[in-house]
Structure 1
Amino acid sequence: MKGLINLFTEKKLVIHIHELTQKHNMSLRELSRQADIDIARLSELASGKRQRVNIEYIVRIAETLNITDIREILTIEEK
């Protein structure tokens, strides 16, 4: 169990909102509107301020941007 705890303390989940909006030539506000996600929640995800990620948000982003590989949206990286 201790090794598992260390894995979570040494890694962080990164949501690539800014990269996605740039790649798809879309503002954060437009992604918010099309994905039906509150702009404040989306902004928190983009800035890394949101500690918990609602999987429904990830699904909505993927559907809105026609993404089939979740690694385009989020990755697990070193802290």
Structure 2
Amino acid sequence: MKERKVEVCLKELVKERGISLRELARLSDIEPSIINKLANNKREKIYLPHIERIAEALDIDDISKIIRLK
């Protein structure tokens, strides 16, 4: 059985919108270090409230644009 992993797609999203990860941290009111770890898929746990705030900050209605199974 293949191991699946959740991937956070923040680098692609900020690039599409022409903003930095730091700006996303400011807009979502999430610590820059947490945004960085999420963007580099270095977080062991992903908290739904963080994903919700990122979605709100980037005006995203579909969670699959932020996270996906790989």
Q: TM-score range by the shorter chain?
A: over 0.9
Q: Does residue 1:76 correspond to 2:49, yes or no?
A: no
Question: TM-score when scaled to structure 2?
Answer: 0.95
Matched, 1:22 2:42: no
**Aligned-residue RMSD, C-alpha:** 1.0
Gaps (5+ residues) in structure 2?
none
List per-residue Cα deviations over 1:14-56 (Å, max 9, x = no partner): 0001001001111000000010000000101111110100111
Residue correspondence of structure 1 range 58-77 to structure 2 within 5 A = 58-77=51-70
Q: Which has a greater percent of strand?
A: 1
Gaps of 5+ in 1: 1-5
Give the paired residue count: 70
Structure with the higher helix share, 1 or 2: 1
Is 1:47 the counterpart of 2:40? The answer is: yes
TM-score normalised according to structure 1 size: 0.84
Distance 1:66 1:44 in 2: 21
Percentage of identical aligned residues: 37
Q: Tell me the secondary structure at the aligned position of residue 22 of structure 1.
A: helix
For 1:65 and 1:47, how far apart are their aligned partners in 2? 18
